[in-house]
């Protein structure tokens, strides 16, 4: 009989072989990566395409286009499409990030064939009604105004701008820039991107050949102009700077510290992830212990390594009382410098490794989560064994390597500093 008075034993985490996806090519050349795992008859469909912010000339255009794609096609109006998805118990959304745009559908496998024709329609047959555009634009302008009133949002947007300048990675939509958009801008962007660029599809859940056949009969029947790939030049980083934006009624200040860094294609990325986690990437990190637990300046502080397709940056974010801003920034720089000067203990490093490996293994239990990692490999052009390399690099990381990476990437003098809040 199980003795419930004793806690389960703890064991070291061992390397786990990353599951491989099945690859299929539809008759028009679309590549489908599928992960067949799980007993429940559900699926997650993701179509990713080159229709992100980096592919547009105006901040906010990609996101607004994605939203308006839900407002009807030349075959069915918005009401019919929404009612059809609702009738089949499916959740769906279309979103654009800086690097890409994604059409996502969750549903029951038995309804897959009923839903995919609507997806195919919206990829190439959206009509962008003028009245719907005006209503959605007004909603987006109001949401954008509210966002800019938040110190945390403002600080994050300003920091990216200070890092990347006029590059698409550095642009941020404003109420004024959104107000200049016209429905013709969305139509032009849609035709250039969604309707023209061959996408990638990621399918996960209880998947069989039947779902692949349905994709071939629907999305496989679309025609794309593959001779005109969208190529965006690499960004140019700006020089480090310091920005203070005062909000008279703000009781707290949002601090964002950023520094140009690397993305997943760089060989240092794996072990830099260990360094970042140790410094500010989990609840037991050094920044949490110093700024939150010892100083009591904030409810939370974190650092993050932000990898994007064309670049990457490292950032620290927190909110503190106005009178604690200067000391908080000073303490962050101090913690960075300590990692550059001193070796981390084997005990602390082991704790961080176990945390990272525990998080990683926890993300390999669901087909949907595995498909997310497959998507990263495919869209970012990484090696097929990327996540096997990740585990090897985590296990082999040493205190000396942590110090070397801190000296290479975490120079406090190169930080871009942004503070938005009270005096």
Looking up residue 303, the CATH number of its domain turns out to be: 3.30.830.10
Q: What's the pLDDT score for residue 129?
A: 96
Whose structure tokens read 């030349």? Answer: 74
- Say if residue 262 is in the same domain as residue 153: no
| Least reliable range by pLDDT among 89-103, 192-206, 237-251, 400-414 | 237-251
Confidence label for 227 from pLDDT (cuts 50, 70 and 90): low
CA dihedral sign, ordered 31, 56, 261, 253:
negative
| Radius of gyration of the chain, Cα coordinates, nearest whole angstrom | 24
Chain mean pLDDT for the chain:
95
The answer as to whether 369 is a domain residue is yes
The answer as to whether 304 is a domain residue is yes
For residues 26-33, average pLDDT: 97
- Say if residue 105 is in the same domain as residue 152: yes
Q: What's the pLDDT score for residue 322?
A: 94
Q: What's the pLDDT score for residue 243?
A: 96
For residues 136-159, average pLDDT: 97
The pLDDT tens digits of the residues spanning 265-311 come to 999 999 999 999 999 999 999 999 999 999 999 999 999 999 999 99
Specify burial of residue 375 (Cβ count, 10 A radius: 0-12, 13-18, 19+).
buried
For residues 208-214, average pLDDT: 97
- Say if residue 186 is in the same domain as residue 290: no
Confidence label for 238 from pLDDT (cuts 50, 70 and 90): confident
pLDDT at residue 1 is higher than 80: no
The answer as to whether 236 is a domain residue is no
11 or 297: which carries more pLDDT confidence? 297
**In angstroms, rounded to a whole number, what is the distance separating the alpha carbons of residues 44 and 202?**
8
- Say if residue 217 is in the same domain as residue 280: no
DSSP assigned state of 335: H
- Say if residue 117 is in the same domain as residue 251: no
| Predicted TM-score (pTM) of this structure | 0.93
Q: What's the pLDDT score for residue 221?
A: 97
- Say if residue 342 is in the same domain as residue 267: yes
328-332 CB contacts, 8 Å cutoff, 24+ apart: 328/255, 328/291, 328/295, 328/297, 328/298, 328/301, 329/255, 329/257, 329/417, 329/419, 331/290, 331/291, 331/295, 332/257, 332/287, 332/291, 332/301
166 or 219: which carries more pLDDT confidence? 219
**In angstroms, rounded to a whole number, what is the distance separating the alpha carbons of residues 247 and 39?**
53
Q: Which domain holds residue 203?
A: 22-221
- Say if residue 132 is in the same domain as residue 168: yes
**In angstroms, rounded to a whole number, what is the distance separating the alpha carbons of residues 393 and 405?**
14
Spell out the residues 6+ positions from residue 360 whose beta carbon is closer than 8 angstroms to its own.
Answer: 16, 387, 390, 391
- Say if residue 328 is in the same domain as residue 209: no
Q: What's the pLDDT score for residue 228?
A: 59
pLDDT at residue 153 is higher than 90: yes
Q: What's the pLDDT score for residue 330?
A: 98
Beta bridge partners of residue 146, listed in sequence order:
none
Question: Number of folded domains in the chain?
Answer: 2
For residues 191-206, average pLDDT: 96
The answer as to whether 12 is a domain residue is no
């Amino acid at each position: 009989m199980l003795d419930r008075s004793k806690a389960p034993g703890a064991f070291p985490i061992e390397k786990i072989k990353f599951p491989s996806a099945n690859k299929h090519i539809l008759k028009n050349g679309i590549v489908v990566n599928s992960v067949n795992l799980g007993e429940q008859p559900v699926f997650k469909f993701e179509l990713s395409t080159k229709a992100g912010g980096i592919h547009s000339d105006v901040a906010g255009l990609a996101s607004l286009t994605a939203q308006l794609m839900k407002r009807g096609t030349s075959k069915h109006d918005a009401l019919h499409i929404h009612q059809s998805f609702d009738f089949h118990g499916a959740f769906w959304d279309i979103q654009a990030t800086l690097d890409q745009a994604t059409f996502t559908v969750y549903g029951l496998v038995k309804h897959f064939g009923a839903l995919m024709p609507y997806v195919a329609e919206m990829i190439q047959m959206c009509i962008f009604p003028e009245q719907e555009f005006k209503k959605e634009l007004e909603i987006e302008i109001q949401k954008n105004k509210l966002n800019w009133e938040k110190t945390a949002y403002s600080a994050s947007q300003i920091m990216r701008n200070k890092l990347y300048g006029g590059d698409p990675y550095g642009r941020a939509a404003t109420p004024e820039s959104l107000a200049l958009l016209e429905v013709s801008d969305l139509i032009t962007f849609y035709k250039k991107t969604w309707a023209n660029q061959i996408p990638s599809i990621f399918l996960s859940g209880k998947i069989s050949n039947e779902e692949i056949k349905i994709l071939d009969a629907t999305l496989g029947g679309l025609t794309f102009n593959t001779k005109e790939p969208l190529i965006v030049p690499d960004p140019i980083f700006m020089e480090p700077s310091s920005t203070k934006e005062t909000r008279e009624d703000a009781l707290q200040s949002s601090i964002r510290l950023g520094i140009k860094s690397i993305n997943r294609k760089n060989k240092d990325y794996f072990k830099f992830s260990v360094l970042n986690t140790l410094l500010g990437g989990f609840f037991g990190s050094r920044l949490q212990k110093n700024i939150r637990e010892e100083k009591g300046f904030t409810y939370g502080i974190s650092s993050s390594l932000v990898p994007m397709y064309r670049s990457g940056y490292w950032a620290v974010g927190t909110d503190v009382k106005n009178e604690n801003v200067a000391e908080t920034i000073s303490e962050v720089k101090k913690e960075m410098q300590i990692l550059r000067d001193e070796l981390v203990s084997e005990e602390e490093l082991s704790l961080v490794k176990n945390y990272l490996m525990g998080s990683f293994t926890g993300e390999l239990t669901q087909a949907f989560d595995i498909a997310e990692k497959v998507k990263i490999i495919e869209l970012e052009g990484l090696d097929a064994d990327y996540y096997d390399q990740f585990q090897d690099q985590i296990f082999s990381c040493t205190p000396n390597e942590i110090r070397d990476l801190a000296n290479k990437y975490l120079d406090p003098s190169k930080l871009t500093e942004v503070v938005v809040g009270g005096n």
